[in-house]
Each structure stands twice: as C-alpha cells, then as structure tokens.
Amino acid sequence: MSNIPRFTLNNGTSIPAIGLGGWGGMEDEERAASFEWMIPAIKAGYRHIDTAWFYGTEKAVAKAIKDSGVPREEIWITTKLPWHHHSRVQESFQESLDNLGTDYVDLYFLHWPQPVAYDPNDPWSKGEPTILEKPTFNEVWAEIEKIYESGKARAIGVSNFSIKTLEELFTTAKIVPAVNQVEMHPYLAQPELKAYCDAKGILITAYTPTGYKNVLTNPLIVELAEKYKVTPGQIVLAWHVARGVAAVPKSSNPQRQKDNITLPLLEEEDVKKITSLDRGERLCNKPDENGLVGGWHVDQLGW
C-alpha cells in the first residue's frame, strides 16, 4: 500500500494526488449537511477538498475544516467560477472566499469554457442555460489571472477544457493553467489530452474518476482487485496516480473514504491493461442527441 503522493504544479506548489469530491447534490438541505461526511474524511487523512461555487458546499467545507480541528493551511482547497458568473469574476471569487471563511484558496478553476446568462432570480442556474457569446473564456481567464497575481489563489486552472479550447486560450493567456480538471476514467482515458497537458506542464485532475459501476464491475478491474486484495475503486484510483493524474472521488461512506487514500502500487503491466479499456465513453457529461453538452456542441468543446 502507498501513501498518497503530492504532485508538483508548474508554479512550484504541490497538490495531494487524491482529493475529496465536494459535490453535494442539488437540494439546499443536502448541500448544507455535506459537512457531516466531510469531517470524517478530513480526520481520516484527506488534505485536499474539491468544491465549487456551483456545488453549494463551500460553506460546508468551511464548517468541516473548522470542526475537524485540522489547521486551514494544512488543507488544499479547490473551488471554481461557475459558468453563469463569467461577467462577475471578482465578485464571484469574493463570494467563494466568504463562503469558505478564508482569505485565499489553493486552486481556482474556470469551471466551464462557455458563458451562461446570469439571472438574479435563478442564482443557482438550475433552469435551462442561456448561452452567451461574451465574455469569451479568454477574457474570463484574464480576470482569473488577476486573482492569481493578487496572491488570493495559490494556483489557477481550467476545467472541461480540450486541446482545442486550450489552444484558443493560449492565444491570449499570460499564465499557463496549472491544472485541467476533466472527466477521466478507464473508459475515457483521454491519452491525447493527457500527452498534450503533460507537454505543457498542466496537471490533469480527474472527476468521475472511478467511472461509476460501469467501470467498477468491469471483469479486468474486478480481477485486479482480487489480485491486489483491495476494492475495484482502489484499483482505478491507483491507476490514475500511476499515470500522474490527480483524482477527486466523492464519497460520503467512511470506509470508502479511507480506502480511497489507501492505494496499492500497481505493476506497470497492469496499468497498461487498465488503460487499454479506453473506449472514449463519457459517463458524467454525455452529449445529448444533438451533440450538445451545457449548450455547446461537442465540436465547440473540442470533445
């Protein structure tokens, strides 16, 4: 079994390879109560929590850290700018700081490349998104760069970006993103994107990292779990770490939380076998029948 390593980012900071996913559902009560399963995770050893303004769990993260007794500076906090706040970056960032009860975050993401209209009557953007042409993600990134330069974010990154959108970003970006968070699991290994990000010094963080039951019940994953005497989830997370990919699995189960930060060291041949399961299949953000994801066509997203 291995201790969870830290990956060094392109600005010299280091991030724990496994974080606790902070998605708390869509109901206000469920989001508010998220701290109840975050506290045992922190006490079990998690030092990386991945939340977002849109998740509605930033206040829960603040409470969990405070109640855990672990000093704030020992925990890596990631949060994200929601797609309907692209015209109010600085205001949204300050809201996140206030929610988190901190004066800085460790990583701040541009959550999605596409801008969505902000409706004060629908602050959580739960309705059908109205896609805008402006501001462009290049303009939004320039605002996020200001946050980094202020010292209020130790690192900045993007989420759901492809080679196509990263190339577009680089036409104006002064700062190369430290991290790109994307859906990644054995059925969506994204080797081209990973190679591109590796070459640019961008760490990939995987969301939906275990691929739900779709991946966890795969015969190869089950076989390797038996071989290493661990769970299928531990096998998949160990695969990510072996590839140099960070991962943020969400679990409210105390035992699975402990399992997720207690990983086997996989043999190189087994890592290759798992990678060969790749089928380019999205499980979390599937395109609809028109090829749309969040109002943008997969061609626009570069997916």
For the annotated catalytic residues, the residue numbers are 55
Order of strands, sheet of 179-183, starting from the edge strand that comes earlier in the sequence: 20-21, 48-50, 76-81, 107-110, 156-159, 179-183, 203-207, 246-247
- Can you tell me whether residue 52 is helix, strand or coil? coil
Question: Using the 8-state DSSP alphabet, how is residue 11 labeled?
Answer: T
- Residue 269 parent element (H or E): helix 268-275
111 is in an annotated binding site: yes
Query: Is residue 60 classed as helix, strand or coil in its secondary structure?
Result: helix
Q: Tell me whether residue 248 is exposed, middle or buried, using C-beta atoms within 10 angstroms of its C-beta: 0 to 12, 13 to 18, 19 or more.
A: buried
**Across-strand partners of 109?**
80, 157
Give the C-alpha separation, 303 to 300, whole Å. Answer: 8
Place of tokens 């939340």: 51
- Residue among 39, 11, 5 at smallest CA distance from 154: 11
DSSP per-residue codes, 106-146: SEEEE--SS-B---TTSTT--S---B-S-S-HHHHHHHHHH
Tell me the residue length of the chain. 303
Q: Rounded to an integer, what distance in angstroms lies between the CA atom of residue 177 and that of residue 193?
A: 14
Residues contacting 275, CB < 8 A, separation 6+ = 186, 189, 191, 239, 243
**Is 47 strand, coil or helix?**
coil
Q: How is residue 145 written in tokens?
A: 């760069």
Under a CB-based contact definition with an 8 Å cutoff, are residues 39 and 74 in contact?
no
Annotated binding site for substrate: 111
